[in-house]
Structure formats: C-alpha cells, structure tokens
Amino acid sequence: MSIYVGQYSDRLLLFGPDGVYGTAGIRDSAASIGTWSLYGLSEDPWVFELLFHAGLVIAVLVMLGVGGRALLAVHWVLIWSLYMANPGLMDGGDALASTATCFLLLTRCYSAFTVRRIRSEPVGVIASVCNNTGLLLLVTQVVVVYLMAGLYKVQGQLWQDGIALYYILSVPEFFLPGVTPFVLQSDWVLVIGAYATVLASVFFPVLVLFRQGRPLAVAVMLTFHLAIAVLMGLTSFALVMAAYDLLFVNHHVVRLHRRAALLRRALAGCREETVDERPVESTATLAGEHRRRVELAFCASRQRAVRKGCSGRVGKYHQGTRGDRCDDGASA
C-alpha cells in the first residue's frame, strides 16, 4: 500500500502506457527476464487506471485481513505486475514482498489479524502442516538474507575499515537535509554503525535460534531498518524487512497479550468486589430482618393457638411463657 500511495501522483510517468518504459518497454523488459506484467497487455489509459486503483484497493483490504487467500493471490498478481512495470524503481524489498505473499498463501495469517470477527474453528492436520511450512519458508528466507548480506559485508574493505556508511550516505539519492550532514560529521557514529550493521547481520541467524535471544535480535534489526527508512528513504524495503523480523517474536507477543488479559481480568475483579461490598451488607441486613419477622409471626400464631385450644393453669402457663419469650424477642 505504501508503494501505491507513495507513487500515486506520478503513476502515469512511472508505470503508465506513455511513461518511462511504456507498454512496449514493459512487455519487452518482462519477457527478457522470463516473467510477465498485466500493465503490458494494453496501451489504453483506462486499463492502466483500472489496474492501478484495483491494486491499491486490494492492498488495503489485504492489510485489513479481508478476502482470505483468494484476494491475497489477486494482490500478489497485481503487485508483481506493478514491480515489473518499472523494475528500476524497486529497492530490493519488492522481491521479498512478492515471495512473502506466495508463502503467506500457505499460512493461516487471517486467523491472527482481521477487522472481521474471528471465528474459532477446528484446524486440521493438513492446514497445520501448510501453515508451519509457510512460516518456516518465511523465516528461512529472512535468515538467509541477513546471513548472506553480513558475509558479503565482511569481505568488503570499506566495511572492515568502518567507513562504508560514509560513502553510502554521501550518495545524493540518500541525502536527508539536516540529518545526513550531522551524521557525516560524526566519525564515531559512522564507525560504530558500520561495525554494528555487520555484526547484527551475521549474528542474527544465531540469536534467533534461541527464544531468549530473539527479542534482542529483532530490536536491533528494527532499529537498523528504521535508520534505513529515515536516512536513505528506502521505506518500502524497511517495512518489508520489519514485517519479516516480527515473525520471530510471535510467541513473546502472545505471552504479553495473555499477561495483559490476566491483568485486565484481575483489575475487573477488584472493581466488582468494591462495587458488590455494599449490596452484600444490605443483603445480610435484610436476611436478619426477615428472620426476626418470621420469629415474631411464629410467636403470634403460637399465642393464638394457646388461647383457643388450652384452658386452666396449663394454658395460662404456656401463654405467659411463650408470650414473655416473644416480647423479649420483639424488644431485642
């Protein structure tokens, strides 16, 4: 979605039938590398507008978790066609995003996040195997990317000297006014950043093997990609890699969510106890009043029975005895 929105105003120039490549250029470029693009099928502007806006809408729906695997497959076709309409515009995140979409077709990603109500349904063996396979393919790809990138950097003399970032940030396309000059003037920042980049890339595959090391590895790489997005302007690439990194802390996120739910329930229970204290006391008071009324009613009925059915000393004795008891109880 960031690609569609970021290039929206210049879409005709970058991807249109009369743009940089043109329809014939898109078709020839895709055929030269053995692939295809829907943007090379027609030279009519309305076809281009239809494809571009359909891709934007579907990208938003996929992000919101709507449509399931069918819409995700359509999204992959449209985003790949957009990539191939101008390959020179891509920043490396395009290949990762396209392969990630293919792998996500195997997973149950829509059961984890969606704006719709999630229904709990039993998961079969085949669905579990496909989900785990897709997840394994995703994490394997990002591990290989980091490992190969780190090993290539280790072999470079500029990275060994710690001055590679200086030359990278000196490229005009990566220049950020107000920030880049400040970074270039700080030699120690450039050296630390260069060595930290190499070490983080090489040791990322090792840290993610252990559950305790995954939060640290992900935090370091998220910081690295945030710097790439800000200093170099490679926003799409940074977002794709950040999404890959977050796969490794799913367990930690679920555990934090459960703890938050337990804390929320505990706080709700405390509030209920505080609210219910007064009703409990009132109920006890009402129960005592009811019990006394029952005793008084029993005493009155007993007195009436004694007056009607008894006579002489026995009747007077029982009447006075029970009456005294009832009067004492009533006064109490």
How far, in Å, CA of 71 to CA of 62, rounded? 7
Long-range contacts of 107-111 (CB under 8 A, 24+ apart): 107/131, 107/134, 107/135, 107/138, 109/65, 110/65, 110/68, 110/69
How far, in Å, CA of 209 to CA of 192, rounded? 25
Give pLDDT, residue 250.
83
Residue 121 parent element (H or E): none
pLDDT tens digits for range 274-292: 555 544 444 455 556 656 6
pLDDT tens digits for range 64-117: 988 889 999 999 999 999 999 998 888 888 889 989 999 999 998 887 778 877
Give pLDDT, residue 119.
65
Which among 191, 119, 116 has a CA at the least distance from the CA of 160?
A: 191
Which among 34, 26, 32, 42 has a CA at the least distance from the CA of 83?
A: 26
* Two tokens, residue 221: 């790489």
